Amino acid sequence: MLLKIDRICKSYAAFPNPPTRVLHEVSLSINHGEALGLVGESGSGKSTIAKCLLALTKPEEGSITYDGIDVIHAKGEDLRRFRREVQMVFQDPYGSLNPRMTAEELIGEGLLVHKLENGAQARRTRVAEMMEMVGLNPDDMDRYPRSFSGGQRQRIAIARALVIRPRILVCDEPVAALDVSVQAQVINLLQDMQRKLNLAIVFVAHDLAVVRHLCENIVVLHKGVVVERGTREEIFGNPQNAYTQALLAAVPVPDPAIGRARRAQRLAQTTN
Amino acid sequence: MTAPAIAAPAARPGLRLSPFEIFVVALVAFLLAIALFGPLVAPDSVYRSDIANSLMPPSFDHWFGTDDQGRDVFWRLIVGAQTTLLSAFLVVTLYSLIGVTIATVAAAGPRWLDETLMRITDIGLALPGMIVALGFAAAMGPSLQSAVIAMAITGWPITARMLRGIMRQTMEAQFVAGAQVLGVSKWRLMTKHVLPNSLDVLIVKWAGDVGTTVLVLASLSFIGVGAQPPSAEWGATIASARGFVSTAWWTVVAPGAAVAITSIAFGLLGDIIQVRRDPSLRGN
Amino acid sequence: MQIVHPMPAMPEPTPKYAPLVTTSGLTVDMPLGRDGNSVRIVDNIDFSIGVGERVALVGESGSGKSLTARALMRLDRLARLSGRIDFDGQDLLKLSEREMTRYRGSAIAMVFQDPMSFLDPLMTIGDQVAETLRIRGVGKAEARKRALAVLDELGVDRAAERLDAYPHEFSGGMRQRVVLAMALVGEPRLLIADEPTTALDVRVQDQVLDLLDDVSARRGLAVLFITHDLGVVAGFAERVMVMYSGRIVEDGEVEQVFAHPRHPYTRGLIKAVPRIDQDLHKLYAIPGAPPPPLARPSGCPFHPRCSESFDRCVSELPAVLNVGGERVACHLHDPLRV
């Protein structure tokens, strides 16, 4: 087991109302090389879990342990190691890259910060390799994010995260803002990278079809609580929880016959 | 949500300047050139008295006439530009550095430090520049230096407050979180990620500020607590010509116009930069 | 023996519907910079929507789908429109701005993606729904009554009590209903919905789509639904038009298009969407990205990404042809192809 979350709770103050509970006793674990999906609607708390996993925010109760490190209280060398081994890719291809840094500086920053290469030239070489690996042209490395399309920016974000060879990649809706044809490219890329680098992935998304495609294990969240967890086959083939079932029934499928059948079913349910 | 439906050209709109913009930029460039090179090309006579020729109206020999010491008003303006503009730049640079430092420390540090610094800033905001200048003049004796120090000390709060607000906002951006997750040190986070993306608005402000500072410094000199005669600083020039308004109007109008034009020019420069940054503001 | 003529196919709604809106050669140019240059976003499209028909308009970035929809209402003052938009016999492009305002809200209405940014946070929802009528001179009491009726129709519980509530008191799905009410209170004949469910959770999305379906059937309201989500298209629309880089590349009944997509782009799109009802397989990803309008490829705009392109595709823009009851713009389907 690489990372374990044990009964974390988090609330946000909403003075003068009572605080809003965002996470309640959430537990989950990730093994080496595993792809875990966190699904839920908006308000389910899945993004908050991602932030806790990345130590961007702290839960009020519970613990998070990564390879022996207490993440919530990590300092010094422990924290540095954690930061090298756990990385992220977030949703917004336009806001997730510093507009004033070139692609090379962005992708190479991790190498600089963790002193992983000797000198600027060595870094540039690594950056070029990484760019090719994610499907970008290394000749573009001195350009700024604004010269790249949405899909390309996500590739830069992925390269930036993976160049330091982390062991876990936390992705929060990484393809939601992309065109359909580009989404498929990035999904395939993530899958490739996962296999090549034996990377564990935590994939947070609302799109169940994408999650099913990438993740062998899935955790379903509803209003800050884990309502069901299981393998891909279990969740999609035999969902136990009513919420999970409702969620699955609402996933749009590009097949008119199925769409019509579902509508008829929903109509029948409401008239009963 | 998909990427924008219209993939607009990624670069900013073409860098073609309108005639108005060209005029303003040229004017500012001209003023800066005078400030830098003026004293080099001015004739020596500017520094000498020639009472016989005093208070002569504008003529072919003396484009803006002569002052009460017989010095050519036009060339005195040129020479004075250096003092005036350089002092203004010095003031703005000083208080900007102070303001940026305080804002960065406040935005980056723990809550209590932020609160403390902001309270100090509030106190600073309450102090009007000119009154403090009067105080300094009383303490150190009136001079351009005392005026500059006073302006620098009272100018930083606004910068600090504005910048700290913007920086706090920038720190919410996803790319900042990304850098944190990467393990970037606090120092690098602030200097490489947050600060460069927060200074935009301030650059607009600083451009305009040079103009207002010229005006304020001139006013201070005029009331006697800034540069003292025989300095060619424009405000001092107006002060020493005060008695001749009705008899030799050119001695007052020329430096006065110089101050006005300079402060307007820099103000317009600030506006142009602002509009170029954010075209939605066009027409204001 | 049937002779197929390679002549441009005329747009028609699904046979059971009489045509309501028909465009011919609709072109939208947007101005660029100061010197009178413009860029062509929508390039000469023809389509038709029938009375009460539900049509989806699908496309990615740069396809021009949003501008096409907005052009039907002439919403963008800066846009330069040419061609013809025939609405029930009247060419909308020939109307003055004042005459056009009479169409907006009453003949054609629109709802957008984000209901919150469309609603005025300082006005009660009752007032906002009634406003569409008030600006047309309907009296206050009458407008309020009709607003209430529409909100009721759209399933807003206890609508009478909530007429004086403010937008922030409502959930996302409810706000979308309010916005719909604002659009429907003027009894339009065509509703244009621009990505109305994209920002909503899937269960709420279902509710809103069911609602639209119901309203459309009951009122005989034609709906033009703009989206990038093929799943939503399959569940809601009767006919689908696929746009790419300013052109309509495929236009046909939903069952047909999904079962036998004829344009390589449509095929690619369908294969690129992960599905929960199929065995897992590597997703097909169309290489490259949709071109920005300023850098449109020559000939068929899709050719650089098309696995089946040949030399004619590079130089010649395909005409829209009639293929088995569908309209397709692709040289592959030209029986006279060289």
Between residues B134 and C263, the one the model is more confident about: C263
Percentage, residues of chain C above pLDDT 90: 46
A17: tokens are: 């109302």
For residue A195, CA distances in Å to A38, A198, B100 come to 20, 5, 47
Partner-chain contact A96 B175, CB within 8 Å: yes
Task: Write down the pLDDT at residue A272.
Answer: 61
- Kindly identify which residue of chain B lies nearest to residue C198, measuring between CA atoms: B1
Task: Write down the pLDDT at residue C43.
Answer: 92
Buried-exposed string A177-206: b where 16+ CB fall within 10 A, e elsewhere: bbbbbbbbbbbbbbbebbeeeebbbbbbbb
Mean pLDDT, residues A195-216 taken together: 92
**Taking the model in full, what pTM does it have?**
0.85
DSSP bridge pairs for A39: A205, A220
Listed by start position, the domains of chain B span 20-36+64-281
Gap between the terminal Cα atoms of chain C: 22
Amino acid (one-letter) located at B48: R
Mean pLDDT comparison of A72-76, A166-170, A255-259, C63-67, highest-scoring range = A166-170
Closest chain A C-alpha to C211 CA, distance in angstroms: 11
Find the DSSP H helices in chain C.
65-72, 97-103, 115-118, 125-134, 140-153, 159-162, 172-184, 202-219, 230-236, 254-259, 264-272, 311-315
Res C5 pLDDT > 60: no
Partner-chain contact A83 B185, CB within 8 Å: no
pLDDT band at C170 (very low <50, low <70, confident <90, very high): confident
C15: tokens are: 């046979």
Mean pLDDT comparison of A171-185, C256-270, C284-298, highest-scoring range = C256-270
B53-67, C246-260, C267-281: the lowest-pLDDT one = B53-67
Partner-chain contact C199 B1, CB within 8 Å: yes
Sign (positive/negative) of CA torsion C56, C57, C59, C61?
negative
CA-nearest of C57, C151, C154, C167 to C118 is: C167
Res C230 pLDDT > 80: yes
Partner-chain contact B3 C61, CB within 8 Å: yes
Between residues B200 and A59, the one the model is more confident about: A59
A87: tokens are: 């990385």
Taking residue A27's Cβ as centre, other Cβ atoms within 10 Å add up to 14
Between residues B42 and B28, the one the model is more confident about: B28
Residue position matching structure tokens 């296999």: A195
pLDDT in tens, C96-108: 988 898 888 889 9
Give CA–CA dist A231/A228, Å, rounded. Answer: 10
pLDDT in tens, C32-65: 876 778 899 999 999 999 999 999 999 998 899 9
pLDDT in tens, A94-149: 889 999 999 999 999 999 999 998 889 999 999 999 999 999 999 999 999 999 98
pLDDT in tens, C195-205: 888 878 888 88
Task: Write down the pLDDT at residue A161.
Answer: 95
SS3 call for C92: helix
Q: B touches which chains (3+ CB pairs under 8 A)?
A: A, C
Asked if residue C301 has a cis previous peptide bond (ω within 30° of 0), the answer is no
Closest chain B C-alpha to A173 CA, distance in angstroms: 11
Mean pLDDT, residues C199-221 taken together: 88
Task: Write down the pLDDT at residue B14.
Answer: 55
Contact status of B40 with chain C (Cβ, < 8 Å): no
pLDDT in tens, A142-160: 999 999 988 999 999 999 9
Contact status of B282 with chain C (Cβ, < 8 Å): no
Least CB–CB distance from C33: residue in B6, B7, B13:
B13
A89: tokens are: 């890719």
Mean pLDDT, residues C293-314 taken together: 91
pLDDT band at C138 (very low <50, low <70, confident <90, very high): confident
pLDDT band at C4 (very low <50, low <70, confident <90, very high): very low
Q: Which fold has domain B20-36+64-281?
A: MetI-like fold (1.10.3720)
pLDDT band at B134 (very low <50, low <70, confident <90, very high): confident
Closest chain C C-alpha to A163 CA, distance in angstroms: 23
pLDDT band at A245 (very low <50, low <70, confident <90, very high): very high
Partner-chain contact C294 B9, CB within 8 Å: yes
Give CA–CA dist C23/C320, Å, rounded. Answer: 14
Contact status of A223 with chain C (Cβ, < 8 Å): no
Mean pLDDT, residues B87-92 taken together: 92
Residues near B153 by beta carbon (within 8 Å), at least 6 away in sequence: B95, B132
Closest chain C C-alpha to B155 CA, distance in angstroms: 39
Mean pLDDT, residues C253-258 taken together: 94
**For testing contact with chain B, the best of A83, A88, A98 (most B CBs within 10 A):** A98
Task: Write down the pLDDT at residue C8.
Answer: 66
Res A236 pLDDT > 60: yes
> B234 near B85, Cβ under 8 Å?
no
SS3 call for C44: strand
Closest chain A C-alpha to C46 CA, distance in angstroms: 25
Res B42 pLDDT > 70: yes
In chain B, which residues have their Cβ closer than 8 Å to the Cβ of A88? 177-178, 181
In chain A, which residues have their Cβ closer than 8 Å to the Cβ of B185? 113
Taking residue B8's Cβ as centre, other Cβ atoms within 10 Å add up to 14
Contact status of B19 with chain C (Cβ, < 8 Å): no
C91: tokens are: 């060419």
CA-nearest of A265, A39, A269, A271 to A171 is: A39
Mean pLDDT, residues B30-39 taken together: 87
Residues near A201 by beta carbon (within 8 Å), at least 6 away in sequence: A34, A35, A36, A168, A169, A170, A171, A190, A194, A214, A215
Contact status of A47 with chain C (Cβ, < 8 Å): no
Res A9 pLDDT > 50: yes
Least CB–CB distance from A181: residue in C60, C235, C236:
C60
Task: Write down the pLDDT at residue C289.
Answer: 86
> A207 near A176, Cβ under 8 Å?
yes
pLDDT in tens, B3-12: 333 233 334 4
SS3 call for B153: helix
Mean pLDDT, residues B203-219 taken together: 89
Surface-to-core class of residue B52, CB atoms within 10 Å of its CB (0-12 exposed, 13-18 middle, 19+ buried):
exposed
Res C338 pLDDT > 70: no
Crossing angle for the helix pair B111-126 and B144-170, to the nearest 10 degrees: 140
What letter does residue A215 receive in the DSSP assignment? -
Closest chain A C-alpha to C136 CA, distance in angstroms: 36
Partner-chain contact C274 A187, CB within 8 Å: yes
Task: Write down the pLDDT at residue C221.
Answer: 94
Least CB–CB distance from A100: residue in B182, B185, B197:
B197
Partner-chain contact B6 C113, CB within 8 Å: no
A188-202, B55-69, B180-194, C166-180: the lowest-pLDDT one = B55-69
- Kindly identify which residue of chain A lies nearest to residue B197, measuring between CA atoms: A100
- Kindly identify which residue of chain B lies nearest to residue A161, measuring between CA atoms: B182
Least CB–CB distance from C289: residue in A151, A262, A266:
A151
Give CA–CA dist A249/A268, Å, rounded. Answer: 14
CA-nearest of A95, A187, A184, A193 to A145 is: A95
